Structure 1
């Protein structure tokens, strides 16, 4: 995320957003169960709350986006369950992964915390890509580029303003926080992004033989 942005912009100003009944399916690492991630986000959001033009990520849905699978029109409920079962089979052989977060990443549309070392999390991405390709015939999409940069977004920009005062206030880091990543969750995001109408379909647990699923009729 370099160089640093000079200006923030409204993420949703010209962004096409899906209707309320449209669902987008993601593989996410949900960060709500990790105290270190919660504290890091709170520290950043406390400072950002002193500025106008920010939409904070709800603490319940703090996350690390791993892979975009597709829409609910393309992927059936049964396929979601198959993906979860496949991910669990792979990740049952992967031990929980210790990582650190706290370094701030700036983007014109968001403020994020880097999760590192990125390479340590590759088994999670590989599992998501493999089962998505096997079940749907498509490998899924990595957000923003072909190279996955693990991060947790703490706030989205909703206004046009200079980035300099924000960067000066937040600096380069909110400290160093330790997290042990132990799960990958399949989530349906219903409707517009900022509504946070999320449905966790199920979770594949690292080092565990069985997934936690919430199957529903197709």
Structure 2
């Protein structure tokens, strides 16, 4: 199902519940800064977005596909983190590696982003992470399921209220080829948003559809 441009954008950087300067969060997201073809594609689109002062362009190193939040660092114990990563490594290694395509961006309420298609294999990864987290923490500590999961890679965040039509028109004049990537690792991230950008300070990569360190150890018993 196609995703349509919105009519107007709003500021992405309002403080969501629980967030404040200095607070850190655990999440499992796909880091994409090493996917050179995708980084190049994003750069092509960002060329036409540089003239819009109401957009914060996302540097290649911070490109990511948001997948599943875990919890604030000060609310998750260090032993829980170790156990969660162990369980995720085993379960994710049993899945198929997502292979997804990115092409044309859409203008959404708080960001310009590239939809990822097809969505099914990413949904399987996300569901597995949620299942493991729910088994460990219980329903009350797992984020509510959004009404609709739309896997995507944001290329710019809106920092103000603004009409979307000039942005959409600028994007419509660009002609590029789609990019397909295999997402065989997901990052277990600790990140913050102190500087109007999502920046992770630590990351452990977990294999998908392959044997990670934890899953090899588990297989050996």
TM-score, scaled to structure 2: 0.84
Could you tell me whether the CA contact under 8 Å between 1:66 and 1:142 is conserved in 2?
no
Residue 191 to residue 36, structure 1, CA distance change in 2 (3 Å): closer
**1:10-159 counterparts in 2 under 5 A?**
10-12=11-13, 18-138=19-139, 140-141=142-143, 145-159=146-160
Residue 17 to residue 170, structure 1, CA distance change in 2 (3 Å): farther
SS in 2 for 1:194: coil
Could you tell me whether the CA contact under 8 Å between 2:88 and 2:132 is conserved in 1?
yes
**Aligned equivalents of 1:125, 1:195: Cα separation in 2:** 23
The structure with the greater share of residues assigned to helix is 2
SS in 2 for 1:103: coil
The structural deviation recorded for 1:44 is 1.5
Determine whether 1:210 maps to 2:213.
yes
Q: For this pair of structures, how many residues does the alignment match? A: 211
Structure 1: 5+ residue stretches without partners: 213-218
The structure with the greater share of residues assigned to strand is 1
The structural deviation recorded for 1:211 is 4.6
Once the two structures are superposed, residues 137-179 of structure 1 have per-residue CA deviations (whole angstroms, 9 ceiling, x without a partner) of 2373368x23221100110011222211110111297531010
Residue 134 to residue 153, structure 1, CA distance change in 2 (3 Å): same
Could you tell me whether the CA contact under 8 Å between 2:97 and 2:121 is conserved in 1?
no
Cα RMSD between the aligned structures?
A: 2.5
Structure 2: 5+ residue stretches without partners: 216-221
Once the two structures are superposed, residues 162-213 of structure 1 have per-residue CA deviations (whole angstroms, 9 ceiling, x without a partner) of 211110111297531010000111112235372444123412112113259x
Could you tell me whether the CA contact under 8 Å between 1:17 and 1:193 is conserved in 2?
no
Could you tell me whether the CA contact under 8 Å between 1:105 and 1:113 is conserved in 2?
yes
The structural deviation recorded for 1:111 is 0.2
SS in 2 for 1:38: helix
**Aligned equivalents of 1:167, 1:24: Cα separation in 2:** 32
Determine whether 1:184 maps to 2:186.
yes
TM-score, scaled to structure 1: 0.85
Once the two structures are superposed, residues 107-142 of structure 1 have per-residue CA deviations (whole angstroms, 9 ceiling, x without a partner) of 121100001100122321122112211222237336
Could you tell me whether the CA contact under 8 Å between 2:107 and 2:167 is conserved in 1?
no
Residue 168 to residue 194, structure 1, CA distance change in 2 (3 Å): same
